Structure 1
């Protein structure tokens, strides 16, 4: 794009703003947000193609990559929010080289509800002081989510790469780092891991991708083996939001959803977006509450239903996985917390049996 064309676009936008009143602009922005929220419920394709007015959206704070936020902990157990450009300040916070480090990448907008991502992540930081927990928040609202999937994926991935460099320069070992992310955040985390591996010739220990988003373009599905020493994928929806196919060294399919096409919704869910959020809540329950959510290795959901699995090869959803874990893993979970059936979730039950167990589980 030539400098003259760019200058012309800027002048056109300024000229338009002179014609539109402040009330008009606010009304257009409200329509943008309403439209994006409605289209998100239909899936990524509809969301990415939503006919929003980007010219007006660009006038509001929150859509630029630098508007993302870092959440780090002080030594007095307080979560502090910093602009993403404040990487140099990380050394002033409670980052201990003797601990394992979890970098969680959020790039999925949720309303304040039971599934509120931000509330869960702050609780994770304050409860797991045995870890260095750094939260990178690229999408606290629907506008940021839109720009993340449409325009900013590569910039966000580059920031994760810079964050990894800053931590390793400060003495954190790559083998002590886990990158995790849900939905769009899983793909951003994957890109950051890829750039770090290419630039440093080292791999971080783990990439945990929670129902990686199918995105606007299939080329933006970036989760794959080889980006970390171990890549774990926890699937959740597998239809319009999450990727169905196995992508990692370990792929976990709670309740078979995302693997078996006829199973569309997770327990307790009435929408696909709820099913997309469900594995995030499983992951948070495991990390925050210390709840064991076991899964067993099996060739397929059909084999799992027949109990034709290797029940000696099991793992728990969380941060620690057996060194020999590889392949597909399945389990059953509940519609409400605590979500785990414990060891009972390793064997398939009919709906009637599962309902009966729901009433007796504690």
Structure 2
């Protein structure tokens, strides 16, 4: 009896561990090392399937007979996840988290495109040459899916760095008929300055959204989608090392941040509102906070859910939007339009620090990316970005500074300060305060009151 019980238990363990993974077992993404980077292995593409039935257990798709795998359903939407350059041969640390988040949001075939053997080489130019063959393999696979009833409309390709351009080449092979391409910091080296047919561009899919986080190094600077998001201006990301002595993170942190920002949007950690603008500087100056361009839809959100703005964005053809982030997840910030009316007889220059407090919570915004001009009876508009939402604020602390170490201490006489929560389309009631005297580098704390004349 004891032996029989042991056999039953062993059989149960085998059945549980193999559930949803078929006879093949679980397959992981290729893991190479530095010696492969030096040798440069020949290109090999593996397609790993994840579904809600095997969300943590990858199933290798047979390219010769892909539908021998019972979990691959051609009538279900399909999302491809394509990594980029892997100089040391290691698999992306974020891959499984993104797959899990995608499957939580939508019942899809989530297919990881493992081209580690082809993306691993100390010679970046040889890796670039492999992007076209990868696209040819994906094109052939998608055609097989079409033969089984798959709709190109339901295909979403998420490409990271070089993976963004692989997505573009694949989409171009279908005349731009696939549903969506999401480009996460598309690669710049070897693609910058190239014509549209040699890189990702808006014609490669029905809808192309792109995120830029490292445009001054590994990323692509110019717009290449129907909507291009520039996080923190598209270059240096908060929390990333500023010194080469920080090791490998100095080189990859800004570039890799694109994936973690997108992961936040998938997980609905918080919602990031973005603002169309001609430049990051104008955005920080509060010149681009009106999103009437999008009608009742309001400002587009960053990430996975921007597809909800597809119709409005396609009418605009191409648009660039900006937003700022925190150093770590949750990345989204909470913005306020700040209008300051002063009555100094002489012009004053400087920056403003705002702190909101409610109960034991507080959050601070430093508006100091440049020195602002304050003129008599002239309203100065600023953008304040807080790392968390504290609303409605019970107390607000205001500080005026000039950055001058030597010289006189100035005063700023404020007739009115008005804080309006963003986005303006929400039409939340602004907070005001009247008749304040700010002494340089000294904090003034007050209780905000409803504005006498709400002006949105």
TM over 0.5: yes
Match of residue 201 from structure 2 = 224
The 1:157/1:250 distance shift into structure 2, 3 A limit, reads: same
5+ residue gaps, structure 1: 1-28, 37-51, 259-264
The 1:330/1:92 distance shift into structure 2, 3 A limit, reads: same
Question: Which segment is superposed worse, 210-219 or 103-112?
Answer: 103-112
CA distance in 2, matches of 1:248, 1:346: 28
Q: Higher helix fraction: Structure 1 or Structure 2?
A: 1
The 1:86/1:255 distance shift into structure 2, 3 A limit, reads: farther
The 1:317/1:163 distance shift into structure 2, 3 A limit, reads: farther
CA distance in 1, matches of 2:97, 2:216: 25
Q: CA deviation at 1:290?
A: 5.5
SS of residue in 2 equivalent to 1:284: helix
CA distance in 1, matches of 2:211, 2:337: 16
Match of residue 166 from structure 1 = 144
The 1:130/1:345 distance shift into structure 2, 3 A limit, reads: farther
Q: CA deviation at 1:130?
A: 2.6
User: Does 2:277 align with 1:298?
Assistant: yes
* Native 8 Å contact 1:214 1:243 kept in 2: yes
Q: 1:135 aligns with which of 107, 112, 117?
A: 112
Question: Which segment is superposed worse, 238-247 or 120-129?
Answer: 120-129
Q: Deviations over 1:292-325 (max 9, x none)?
A: 2221112221221122213344112233241112
TM-score computed with the length of structure 1 as normaliser: 0.69
Where do 1:228-243 residues align within 5 Å? 228-243=205-220
Q: 1:331 aligns with which of 319, 323, 327?
A: 323
Q: 1:266 aligns with which of 219, 237, 240?
A: 237
The 1:240/1:128 distance shift into structure 2, 3 A limit, reads: same
Q: 1:344 aligns with which of 314, 318, 335?
A: 335
Match of residue 301 from structure 2 = 316
Q: Which has the larger radius of gyration?
A: 2
The 1:110/1:132 distance shift into structure 2, 3 A limit, reads: farther
Q: Higher strand fraction: Structure 1 or Structure 2?
A: 2
Q: CA deviation at 1:275?
A: 0.6
TM-score computed with the length of structure 2 as normaliser: 0.56
Where do 1:170-189 residues align within 5 Å? 170-189=148-167
C-alpha RMSD of matched pairs (Å): 3.6
CA distance in 1, matches of 2:147, 2:220: 34
Aligned length: 295
Report 1 or 2 for greater relative contact order, CA contacts < 8 Å, sequence distance ≥ 6. 1
CA distance in 2, matches of 1:136, 1:240: 25
Q: CA deviation at 1:172?
A: 2.4
CA distance in 2, matches of 1:157, 1:240: 25
Show structure 1 runs of 4+ deviating over 6 A: 110-113, 349-352, 359-362
